[in-house]
């Protein structure tokens, strides 16, 4: 009995002290009191032996309070071991790690997120000028463009649309007003892209590129005054059309390895001999390159004659070249995913450019990778999340309405459970990604440049778009597959792989970038430990390492205790009751975050630097971070929207399934960690009762699906921000029109069905409506209404057909015709 009391007291005591993050001094004193009391109340030889053992451990812990002892017998050996286990970090990796900021990602990583940091983030309304732009030029642009016409007939935006984009300042949204640009906030920028992309991806991409990573952004951050004064006003009004070229046939994902090179040399420019660079490049996939007037170019700079300084290998360098400069070869086009936006290769051999063309001038030579990483940290959070949100909204709005008006087996297809499953996924994806888009844009406006979150959001948004557009296609059946002007899904369907591939291809982003960077940057102590270990001043290194290490140990012990308590209590201990009906989900998210942090520590301890190469584990950690981030954003949006009751089923469904994914991934990670005993411990901590998280119920899924299918107001609210033309003649407006008229004529339709069922009306007559009117089953007004409904329904379900020569420019020869000839 005494032995059990001793063991239990020690375990609970250590757990409580760890949970409360007690300091070393408090732990020492509390442990001494505990052991004294145990000595008084227990007895027997085994108990005495245990107590002696406990006192020995206590003595060591107590000695750790003495700084010199701690440094010598604990911190120094730990530092020595840590240095041998450290992963090697290349210069380009370090620059990627240094880019941007950490924000809510660090909170989720800590295992104890401070909700105020998220909930108090101000996501302000648009300014009057921004709102005016959205309601005016953006609306007008959307009405002007037609994706089908552009892709089939023009192969580009028509000239008058390009001119409109330039005249209205679409290409200069990120350029400050002092240079003639719009100076828009990230929120406005995101909303503009979202609206255009919901109408026409070619127009959206043509607007996105000049406003994302490229010449304007690079100049704003790193350009010298002369370069800014020259280019920014011209970019703002569209006199210059930019593109940015990094990708080489031999360096795609591994862009830091580009073989394109520049050699510092003297040459003649404008009749004068100047210091410059002889550049040779071969780039591909460059968006807007065929129409660009200014080329942002990344190349590796070498200075063999040391004309700039001591370094021969200067590093990646970025320059701006007018595309009419002799030697710049552009103009041909790629045809990515059969989309009409401008994209093509560019090349040049031994093209001499003056040093002034390097962005930021000579002092920025070799700084290119860092410049790119910094721009990417923020830029990746806007364009692709906004355009993916647009695609999701198109899927949601059209699929919801279509599932209501399309009937099979005498029922709207939205009533079939199989269809509901797909629709529910579309609703949840749309809600989550729009929430994350909104919150992340707000964070950018608040000064954050969240490098990890922007990669994570790019991945989640584009993957969920791909899933939802497939679901939307499935629900539409042949209506979604046959291409033509009436098909509103095909463009998003074909363009989804483009979004998946650009700005960091998704497999790489998921399995290497997100967690690889987060583990270093968001971890509360790791970076400090690495910095200390890299310090060559031994005494300074020891002091800094000691501080970081003890913080780390305290954090790990606390997270272990919290993981057990939260999982054993079903996540209910530690929740904040002030947040009302969604309190439960805050508590569950905290529980997931704590469990995640604990598993991360176990993985880091076992694998150290090798974790970087364990992409399957890293990808699963990235999935967990993705789910946690989207759920956090959903909670923030729910609060900002004033907690609308109607959104609760969506939120609940999203949470149930996200938590299911999180615990499945945790389980998979634990199963694949090398140490079996640690896996055993982790399973006890995370699944103390053995149960995994269940997916959301079928009933809840139906509730969510019904919201989209049967409630036009919910559809409109969920899809707010996409371009929507209410006209019965519009490609999407016709669906909502069909919904409206169907509702009006429902009673008349019922009368006809009943008359047919009773045999009063023959089902086989030529025109049932006419016959029903003639027999007095329905009134003239009802007959008129039904005719309107029939034509609206026809418009909503019709697909296009073409003469063969309309599609291929000639009538293809059939085998029969060939035989006859």
Ligand X SMILES: Cc1cc2nc3c(=O)[nH]c(=O)nc-3n(C[C@H](O)[C@H](O)[C@H](O)COP(=O)(O)OP(=O)(O)OC[C@H]3O[C@@H](n4cnc5c(N)ncnc54)[C@H](O)[C@@H]3O)c2cc1C
Active site amino acids: 503
Task: Using CB under 6 A, pick the residue from 329, 615, 749, 760 that binds ligand X.
Answer: 615
β pairing state of 294-302 and 261-269: parallel
Among 75, 317, 342, 511, binds ligand X (CB under 6 A): 511
Q: Give the one residue of 15, 252, 574, 712 binding ligand X; rule: CB under 6 A.
A: 252
340 binds ligand X (CB under 6 A): no
The residue among 399, 517, 437, 447 whose CA lies nearest residue 109 is 517
* Token code pair at residue 666: 């945790």
Member of 109, 115, 222, 244 binding ligand X (CB under 6 A): 244
Give the pair of three-digit tokens for residue 77. Answer: 């050996």
Q: Is 201 a binder of ligand X (CB under 6 A)? A: no
Q: Using the rule CB under 6 A, is 469 a contact of ligand X?
A: no
Q: How far is the CB of 214 from ligand X (least distance, A)?
A: 8
Q: Identify whether the C-beta of residue 311 lies closer than 8 Å to the C-beta of residue 292.
A: no
Q: Which two tokens stand for residue 601?
A: 């520590």
Question: Shortest approach of ligand X to residue 506 CB, angstroms?
Answer: 6
Residues 6+ apart with CB under 8 A from 538: none
What long-range pairs does 576-582 form, CB within 8 A, spacing at least 24? 576/115, 579/115, 580/643, 581/643, 581/648, 582/635, 582/638, 582/643, 582/648, 582/651
Contact region for ligand X (CB under 6 A) — 137-145, 307-315, 495-503, 537-545? 495-503
Please answer whether residues 266 and 273 qualify as being in contact, where contact means their C-beta atoms are separated by less than 8 angstroms.
yes
Q: Please tell me what DSSP assigns to residue 578.
A: G
Interactions with ligand X, residue window 69-98 (CB under 6 A): none
Single residue of 181, 238, 276, 336 touching ligand X by CB under 6 A: 336
Q: Which stretch binds ligand X (CB under 6 A): 35-43, 505-513, 594-602, 744-752?
A: 505-513
Q: What are phi and psi of 724, to 5 degrees?
A: -140, 120
How distant is the alpha carbon of residue 90 from its chain centre?
26
3-class SS shares of the chain: helix, strand, coil, % to 5? 65, 10, 25
User: Shortest approach of ligand X to residue 586 CB, angstroms?
Assistant: 34
Task: Encode 193-239 in three state secondary structure.
Answer: HHHHHCCCHHHHHHHHHHHCCCHHHHHHHHCCHHHHHHHHHHHHCCC
Question: Residue 242: in which H helix or E strand, if any?
Answer: strand 242-245
Site for ligand X contains 621 (CB under 6 A): no
Per DSSP, what are the bridge partners of residue 358?
Answer: 319
Letters for 276-315 (x = contact with ligand X by CB under 6 A, - = none) are: ---------xxx----------------------------
Structure token pair of residue 802: 């073409």
Region near ligand X per CB under 6 A, out of 10-18, 82-90, 178-186, 238-246: 238-246
Backbone angles phi, psi at 222, to 5 degrees: -125, -10
DSSP, residue by residue, 790-807: HHHHHHHH------HHHH
Closest contact distance (angstroms) between CB of 366 and ligand X is 19
Cβ-closest residue to ligand X? Answer: 252
Establish if 369 lies at the interface with ligand X (CB under 6 A): no
* Residue closer to ligand X, measured from CB, 201 or 706: 201
With respect to ligand X, which residue has the nearer C-beta, 34 or 348?
348
DSSP string for 149-163 = HIIIIISS--HHHHH
Distance, in Å, from the CA atom of 792 to the CA atom of 730, rounded to the nearest integer, reads 12
Counting contacts by CB under 6 A, is residue 501 touching ligand X? yes
- Which is nearer to ligand X, 343 or 595 (by Cβ)? 343
Pairwise CA distance, residues 380 & 295, whole Å: 20
Residue number with CB closer to ligand X (27 or 206): 206
Contact between 343 and ligand X by CB under 6 A: the answer reads: yes
Q: Does position 507 bind ligand X by CB under 6 A?
A: yes
Question: Which is closer to ligand X, CB of 508 or CB of 597?
Answer: 508
Q: Which of 241, 245, 432, 473 binds ligand X (CB under 6 A)?
A: 245
Give min distance, CB of 254 to ligand X, in A: 6
Told to check if 575 binds ligand X by CB under 6 A, we report no
Q: Is 505 in the site for ligand X (CB under 6 A)?
A: yes
Strands 261-269 and 313-322: unpaired
Query: What residues pair up with 265 in beta bridges, in sequence order?
Result: 276
Stretch that binds ligand X, among 503-511, 544-552, 733-741, 808-816 (CB under 6 A): 503-511
DSSP H or E run through 649: helix 648-672
Judged by beta carbon, residue 336 or residue 385, the one nearer ligand X is 336
User: 809: alpha, beta or left, given left = phi > 0 and alpha = psi -120 to 50?
Assistant: left
Q: State yes or no: residue 502 binds ligand X (CB under 6 A).
A: yes
**Is residue 247 near ligand X by the rule CB under 6 A?**
yes
If one asks whether residue 512 binds ligand X (CB under 6 A), the answer comes out as yes
Q: Which is nearer to ligand X, 22 or 193 (CB)?
A: 193
Minimum gap (Å) between residue 249 Cβ and ligand X: 8
Q: Which of residues 376 and 635 has its CB atom nearest to ligand X in the complex? A: 376
Judge whether 403 and 414 are in contact, CB under 8 Å.
Answer: yes
# chain residues binding ligand X, by CB under 6 A: 20
Give the nearest distance from C-beta 182 to ligand X in angstroms. Answer: 22
- In the bound state with ligand X, the residue whose beta carbon lies nearer, of 308 and 371, is 371
Could you tell me which of 197, 94, 118, 295 has the C-alpha nearest to residue 491? 197
Candidates 2, 65, 253, 569; binder of ligand X (CB under 6 A) is 253
> Can you give the binding site for ligand X, defined by CB under 6 A?
244-247, 252-253, 285-287, 336, 343, 498, 501-502, 505, 507-508, 511-512, 615
């Amino acid at each position: 009995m005494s032995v059990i009391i001793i063991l239990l007291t020690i375990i609970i005591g250590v757990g409580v002290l760890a949970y409360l993050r007690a300091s070393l001094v408090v732990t020492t004193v509390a442990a001494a009191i505990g052991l004294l009391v145990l000595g008084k109340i227990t007895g027997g030889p085994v108990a005495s032996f245990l107590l002696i053992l406990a006192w020995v451990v206590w003595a060591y812990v107590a000695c750790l309070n003495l700084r010199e002892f701690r440094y010598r017998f604990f911190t120094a050996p730990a530092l020595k071991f840590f240095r041998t286990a450290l992963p090697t970090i290349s210069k380009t990796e370090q620059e990627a790690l240094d880019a941007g900021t950490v924000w809510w990602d660090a909170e989720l990583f800590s295992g104890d997120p401070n909700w105020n940091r998220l909930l108090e983030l101000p996501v302000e309304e648009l300014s009057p000028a921004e709102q005016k732009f959205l309601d005016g030029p953006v609306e007008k642009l959307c009405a002007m463009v037609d994706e089908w016409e552009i892709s089939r007939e023009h192969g580009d935006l028509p000239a008058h649309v390009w001119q409109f984009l330039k005249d209205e300042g679409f290409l200069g949204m990120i350029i400050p007003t002092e240079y003639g640009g719009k100076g828009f906030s990230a929120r406005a920028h995101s909303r503009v892209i979202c609206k255009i992309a919901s109408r026409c991806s070619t127009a959206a991409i043509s607007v996105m590129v000049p406003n994302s990573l490229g010449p304007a952004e690079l100049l704003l951050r790193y350009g010298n005054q002369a370069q800014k004064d020259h280019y920014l006003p011209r970019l703002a009004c569209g006199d210059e059309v930019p593109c940015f070229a990094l990708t080489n046939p031999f360096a795609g994902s591994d862009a830091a390895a580009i073989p394109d090179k520049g050699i510092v040399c003297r040459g003649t420019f404008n009749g004068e001999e100047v210091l410059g660079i002889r550049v040779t490049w071969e780039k591909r996939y460059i968006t807007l390159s065929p129409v660009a007037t200014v080329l942002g170019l990344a190349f590796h700079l070498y200075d063999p004659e040391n004309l700039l300084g001591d370094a021969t290998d200067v590093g990646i360098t970025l320059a701006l070249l007018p595309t009419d400069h002799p030697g710049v070869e552009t103009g041909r086009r790629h045809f990515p995913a059969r989309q009409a936006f401008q994209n093509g290769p560019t090349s040049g051999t031994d093209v001499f450019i003056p040093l002034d063309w390097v962005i930021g001038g000579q002092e920025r030579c070799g700084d290119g990778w860092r410049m790119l990483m910094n721009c990417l940290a923020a830029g990746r959070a806007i364009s692709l999340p906004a355009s993916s949100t647009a695609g999701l909204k198109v899927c949601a709005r059209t699929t919801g309405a279509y599932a209501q008006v399309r009937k099979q087996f005498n029922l709207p297809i939205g009533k079939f459970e199989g269809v509901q499953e797909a629709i529910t996924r579309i609703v949840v994806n749309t809600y989550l990604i729009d929430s994350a888009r909104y919150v992340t844009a707000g964070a950018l406006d608040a000064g954050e440049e969240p490098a990890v979150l922007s990669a994570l959001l790019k991945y989640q948004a584009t993957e969920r778009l791909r899933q939802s557009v497939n679901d939307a296609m499935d629900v539409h059946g042949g209506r979604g597959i046959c291409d033509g002007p009436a098909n509103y899904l095909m463009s998003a369907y074909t363009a989804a792989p483009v979004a998946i591939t650009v700005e960091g291809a998704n497999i790489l982003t998921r399995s290497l970038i997100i967690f690889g960077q987060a583990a270093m940057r968001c971890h509360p102590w790791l970076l400090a430990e690495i910095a200390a270990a890299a310090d060559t001043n031994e005494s300074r290194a020891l002091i800094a390492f000691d501080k970081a290490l003890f913080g780390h140990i305290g954090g790990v012990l606390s997270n272990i205790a919290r993981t057990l308590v939260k999982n054993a209590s079903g996540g209910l201990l530690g929740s904040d009751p002030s947040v009302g009906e969604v309190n439960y989900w805050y508590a569950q998210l905290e529980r997931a975050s704590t469990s995640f942090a604990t598993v991360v520590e176990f993985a880091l301890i076992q694998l150290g630097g090798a974790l970087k190469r364990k992409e399957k584990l890293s990808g699963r950690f990235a999935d967990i971070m993705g789910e946690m981030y989207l759920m956090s954003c959903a909670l923030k949006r729910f609060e900002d929207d004033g907690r609308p009751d109607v959104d609760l089923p969506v939120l609940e469904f999203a949470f149930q399934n996200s938590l299911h994914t999180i615990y499945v991934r945790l389980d998979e990670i634990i199963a694949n960690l090398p140490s079996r005993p640690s896996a055993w411990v982790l399973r006890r901590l995370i699944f103390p009762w053995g149960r995994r998280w269940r997916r959301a119920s079928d009933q809840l899924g139906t509730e969510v699906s019904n919201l989209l299918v049967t409630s036009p107001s919910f559809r409109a609210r969920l899809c707010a921000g996409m371009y929507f033309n209410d006209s019965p003649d519009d490609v999407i407006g016709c669906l909502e029109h069909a919904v409206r008229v169907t509702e009006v004529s429902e009673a008349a339709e019922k009368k006809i069905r009943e008359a047919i069922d009773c045999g009063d009306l023959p089902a086989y007559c030529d025109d049932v409506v006419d016959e029903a009117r003639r027999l007095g089953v329905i009134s003239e007004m009802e007959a008129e209404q039904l005719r309107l409904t029939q034509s609206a329904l026809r418009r909503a379900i019709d697909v296009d057909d073409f003469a063969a020569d309309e599609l291929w420019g000639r009538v293809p020869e059939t085998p029969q015709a060939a035989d006859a000839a």
